[in-house]
Amino acid sequence: MTPTPSAHESSRGPAGHSSAGGRRKPAASWLGLRPGTLLALVGIAVLLVPLSALSQPADSASKGGKLAKLREQFGLSQANLGEVDPTSEAMRLATLGLKNVAVTLLWDRANHYKKVEDWTNLSAVLEQMTKLQPNFYSVWDFQAHNLSYNISVEFDDYHDRYAWVMKGIEFLRQGISYNLREPRLFGRMGWFIGQKIGKADEKKQYRRLFKADDDFHERDRPGRTLPERDNWLVAREKYLAGQQLADSGSPLKTTALIYHSEPMMTAINYAKSLEEDGTFGVSARDGWKLAGDEMRRFSVREIPTTWEVPVRLGMREAELARADRVAGELEQLLPGRFTAMEDSKRASLTADQKAAFDVPPLERTDAQHADAQAATQIMRMDWPQVVAEAPADVRPRAKELLRQYTEAKETADIIDRYREIVNFDVWRATCEAEVTEPAIKAREATWRAEKDFENAKLQPAKQAYEEAFAAWREVLDASPVLRADQIALDDINDVVDRYRKLLEQLDEPFPKSFPLQDILNPKPAQ
């Protein structure tokens, strides 16, 4: 008896193939791979050819692939940016593309170790961070600030504090070695050496320790003499190095005005520090001459502006003179028209406006203030209004002169705004005044008076104060800018206040014929 085939068997034909009525099973691909997988592998193999051509590294025999050539062209390879650290390169490769995640975790650990005051582990984490991101400016800047400013204050002994300040500075030096085209790191190193060492509460001790720090100076610039080891002079060296780097074409990713003013400010602080230390005479004058040289160098440097018009801060007076000269040419071209239009505007004022305009500002009523303000708006005059009504035959020439006039006035206005940011006029006047004999005498007499007063030598202190005030009178009379500067006047008033206290101890009245009476803060006469 022939067995009846099962339903499953009856659906298959010979050799296990499905019958015409069943679904056909996909055939196995080469080596058991599906067609889609095989196609993907072929595509990968094909792409390896252009990828190899693009990413081939450079060597002594070849410039490498396209990417290597682009890195060389734009200076983006590590060798172009700074030193190559094999450990750093190996660590970045070991993260398998998760470098940013690893750095984020390290930042978190660094903050933790700072909170728990675990300085050993903090130093280790910082080292790891710099290995993973040696070309990231913020890593060096933030953590150097952390070391010099935040961690240093945790210690009681100023020797320990100084050691941590220097750790931050050395951290920046390490960052510079990996980022030879980053001017900001030179600037930060200059700031730490200048401001942290020269302006801290412990500045006397810090400045002394810095001068005696043979290890630092030998690493930084071998052969630096003892006078050159002043922290402000070393800070100036760093700013000048960064400035030179920026001038050579390295991008300056910060405010150019402030950055380029720093060599001048460090030279000014150097001269001030000499006088604070009791150094006067030739040395003090030389210090202020250096400051003056840096001021003049800064004044002729081209500074980019937000108006996309580069300016030189020392050219304001020249631009105003150019505007006056062009205004004279306009007057010759359009004789009498400016004055005639001015007279016409004045004639259009109401009787109340004319009367209010003639009343001194401090004596005006509210209504008169409003009338005077309206009169000022009506009488406001400038050459564009005159040129707009120029005769047709001279109008083209008048418009060209007006363009030159407007350009000079606007450039002077831009320069004036940028000068105000860095207090340019006051610092220039200070540098010019401080090299004079009266200023040096004033500073030295003030210093002697302060020391004598501290040591309870009241009569010598009184005599020194009075010598200083007489010298300050000469300085202020010779410098209208300093005479109008409130900060300079406040500094002198502080000295006068100590002089008052001295007189109180001597039971003597404040002199009625005081040489600086016109600059005193309002105080009741004694």
**Domain extent listing, the chain:** 86-254, 313-424, 436-519
Mean pLDDT, to the nearest integer, of 15-22?
A: 46
Decide if pLDDT at 188 tops 90.
yes
Which one is predicted more confidently, 1 or 256? 256
pLDDT band at 270; cut points 50, 70, 90: very high
Fold of the 436-519 domain: Methane Monooxygenase Hydroxylase; Chain G, domain 1 (1.20.58)
| Residue range 366-390: mean pLDDT, rounded | 89
Mean predicted lDDT score pLDDT of the chain: 86
CA 29/CA 51 separation, integer angstroms: 28
Query: Measured between alpha carbons, how far is 331 from 339 in angstroms, rounded to an integer?
Result: 10
Judged against a pLDDT cut of 70, whether residue 21 lies above it is answered with no
E-strand ranges in 240-327 read none
pLDDT of 88 > 70? The answer is no
Q: What is the pLDDT of residue 106?
A: 86
Kind plus residue range of the DSSP H or E element containing 188: helix 183-191
Residue 72 to residues 79, 81, 107, 251, 405: CA-CA distances in angstroms?
9, 11, 32, 17, 47
Range of lowest pLDDT (48-52, 179-183, 331-335, 517-521): 48-52
CA–CA distance, 458 with 452 (Å, rounded to integer): 7
Q: CA-CA distance, 144 to 175, in Å (whole number)?
A: 10
Q: What is the structure's pLDDT at 6? A: 46
**Phi and psi angles of residue 348, each rounded to the nearest 5 degrees, phi first:** -80, -5
Q: Where are the alpha helices (DSSP H) in 334-436?
A: 337-347, 351-358, 366-379, 383-387, 395-421, 424-434
pLDDT digits (tens, 9 = 90+) for 223-240: 999 999 999 999 999 999
Residue 187, pLDDT > 60, answer yes
Contact indicator for 475, 430 with CB cutoff of 8 Å: no
Q: Which residue has the higher pLDDT, 292 or 48?
A: 292
The amino acid sitting at 162 is: Y
* Rg value, the chain, Cα: 38
Distance CA 255, CA 233 (A): 22
Second-level CATH architecture of 86-254: Alpha Horseshoe (1.25)
In the predicted model, what is the mean pLDDT of residues 198-217?
Answer: 96
Mean pLDDT of 299-313: 93
What distance lies between CA 97 and its chain's CA centroid?
Answer: 35
List Cβ neighbours of 148 (8 Å cut-off, separation of 6 or more): 164, 165, 166, 167, 168, 169, 192, 196
| Interval 443-496: pLDDT, tens | 999 999 999 999 999 999 999 999 999 999 999 999 999 999 999 999 999 999
Cα(495)–Cα(489) distance, rounded to whole angstroms?
10
